[in-house]
Amino acid sequence: MLNVTDLGEGIPLVWIHGYPLASSIFEQQLGIRNVRHVMPDLPGFGQSRPDGGDMTMDAYARLIIDLLDARGIDRAVFAGFSMGGYICFGIARLAPERMRALILLDTRETADTDEARKGRYESIEKVKKEGVQPIVEAMLPKMLTPAAPREMHDRVREIMSSSTPDGVIAALGAMATRPDSTALLQEIKVPTLIIVGAEDPITPPADAERMATGIRGARVVKVPGAAHLANYEKADEVNRAVAGFVRGL
């Protein structure tokens, strides 16, 4: 059973978090009005218990589709951050009819390189031996720019630290084995907004621009002064872009 925040009224907007994070990374998006914010914690993250065992992006996608069914939501806007974007591609593969629109935040469509995949498996072994904290400390400098306030760094560290070893290991395995979604881009027929931090070192603006060339009509918003976690570091700019996009639906 996934822990889910479900607040507001309007168009259902399902926020899918990345790794190693939780739905609370979208807490600053709750101010967007005329939207029903549906924010699940993926298994082993935030307040959701681990499922136990291996995961794939399609398995995560099925959990989200089941969540829609349980809440009586036929179609929704899906907003995926980083790994959440990979899960959105899974939803586009498995159940495109459930997708009213798509928001991709600091993510990419390509599969891991051999080097990146090797790094995932090395991280799995590190988590097995040392827990999640070394992963948290290694990821934090990439999430926010050095200019972000100290209390913001502390809050993001707190959110990341809520991850369980089982959840992190499952996510790393799913990312390492995820399919390349390049060919899928041209199959996405819904309105699409792509948001990226201008200083994102993990999925830089070039990734956003490349995705936009593959999805017909997609629009890119580049957020100045933001690293990977653009929606958290520059919430006002991101919220304006999302609110305008949703109004246009």
Share above pLDDT 90 across residues of the chain, in percent, rounded to a whole number? 98
Model pLDDT, residue 182: 98
User: 42-57: per-residue pLDDT in tens?
Assistant: 999 999 999 878 899 9
DSSP 30: G
Q: Which of 75-111 are b and which e, b meaning 16 or more Cβ less than 10 Å from the residue's Cβ?
A: ebbbbbbbbbbbbbbbbbeeeeebbbbbbbbbbbbeb
What pLDDT was estimated at residue 52?
76
Q: Where are the beta strands (DSSP E) in the chain?
A: 4-7, 11-16, 35-40, 76-81, 99-105, 192-197, 219-223
> CB of 112 within 8 A of CB of 47?
no
What pLDDT is stored for residue 53 in this prediction? 80
> In this structure, what are the phi and psi dihedrals at residue 109, rounded to the nearest 5 degrees?
-95, -15
Examine the pLDDT at 172 and tell me if it is beyond 90: yes
Over residues 2-14, the pLDDT tens digits come to 999 999 999 999 9
Q: Phi then psi for 123, rounded to 5 degrees? A: -65, -35
For the stretch 120-171, pLDDT in tens is 999 999 999 999 999 999 999 999 999 999 999 999 999 999 999 999 999 9
Per-residue pLDDT, 155: 98
- Please tell me whether the overall predicted TM-score, pTM, comes out greater than 0.75 for this model: yes
What pLDDT was estimated at residue 1?
A: 81
- DSSP 8-state secondary structure symbol assigned to residue 79: E
Mean pLDDT in the chain? 97
CA count, 13 A, side-chain hemisphere, 54: 8
Pairing of strands 192-197, 99-105: parallel
CATH code, 103: 3.40.50.1820
Domain range for 206: 4-247
What's the total number of domains in the chain? 1
At 204 the pLDDT is 98
Q: Report the distance separating Cα 203 and Cα 95, nearest Å.
A: 25
